[in-house]
Chains A and B, each alone.
Chain A
Amino acid sequence: METVTQSIQGIPLNHYILLSAIIFTIGVIGVLIRRNAIIIFMSVELMLNAVNLLLTAFSVYWGDASGQVFVFFIMALAAAEVAIGLAILTMIYRNTNSTDINILNRLKW
């Protein structure tokens, strides 16, 4: 384990923040450009994971274990969110025969 963790020595914290920002942005772009609701869910998962990585990096940086506990809670929340979201999606699919979010604009009136 020592040799593996040696390899992060000397990486600036900025690079972790930048990597998380890039992954988060990819998630945002995925939400904006896709119409399939399942892919939008996957983009939300990407955003959650970017935040998880950033929390872990900060937790290691400060030597404080609380950040990693927060990541654990975020994972529990993500599991709950995915279960509910996919249940809603199956219900929508049963009613409209598609997961295209443009069909859902009938909620407007």
Chain B
Amino acid sequence: MNLFYFVAFLSVFFSLLVIFSKNPVYSVLYLIVTFFTFSIHYILLNAQFLAIVNFIVYMGAILVLFLYVLMLLNLNKESEPMKSNLLKVVGVIAGLCLLLTVAGSLKLLHVSDPVLLKNPDIGLVRNLGKVLFKEFLLPFEVSSILLLSAMVGAVLLAKKDITKV
């Protein structure tokens, strides 16, 4: 039980470091640690498939893409122009208002039942595969089209102007 609160504290701490560190490369590295804590959360919830996918897709693919673009654009320096302090304070206050609203509405709900593993098998690969390929077969196929179009779009966007070449 204490493990959850410790990992939750780590998630919040490192995600705060992501948005407050000046150097973008450090931000990406802290984001990797944050996603690692999320993987631990998934393991605690016995969602093993999601933990592995989070590990491979987020920490392996997406964040490497971020780092690659940062290095490619040569942005790994602390020369980023910051917003004025007034705007920063206003942004933080606006965010805290959002948090206050959500927490306040949560207090009205009274859903305080403990999370129990009613069915410990639902997060396993075998079980999720059955659900994915029976009930969600059409969305699964459509998401493949989404990924294909994203790939084509990314190549088209990142290419230099065709008329000049």
Interface residues of A (CB under 8 A from B): 1, 4-5, 7-19, 21-30, 32-36, 38-39, 41-43, 45-46, 49, 52-53, 56-57, 59-66, 68-69, 71-73, 75-84, 86-91, 93-94, 99-100, 102
Contacts and interface: CB of A to CB of B under 8 A. Distances in A.
Interface in B91-126: 91-92, 94-96, 98-99, 102-103, 106, 109, 111-120, 122-123
Nearest to B89: A33
Interface residues of B, number: 90
B91 A29 contact: yes
6 contacts: A9-B1, A60-B123, A68-B50, A71-B50, A90-B69, A102-B81
Given A57-B115, A81-B150, A83-B65, 5 more contacts: A7-B3, A12-B113, A25-B102, A28-B94, A84-B157
A56 B81 contact: no
**Interface class of chain A by DSSP:** helix
Contacts of B75: 36, 38, 99
A78 B163 CA distance: 32
B123 A35 contact: no
B50 A72 contact: yes
Contact of B154 (A61, A68, A84): A84
B111 A32 contact: no
Nearest to B146: A80
Contacts of A63: 118-119, 122
A13 B95 contact: no
Contacts of A4: 43-44
A86 B149 CA distance: 15
Nearest to A61: B115
Contacts of B154: 83-84, 86-87
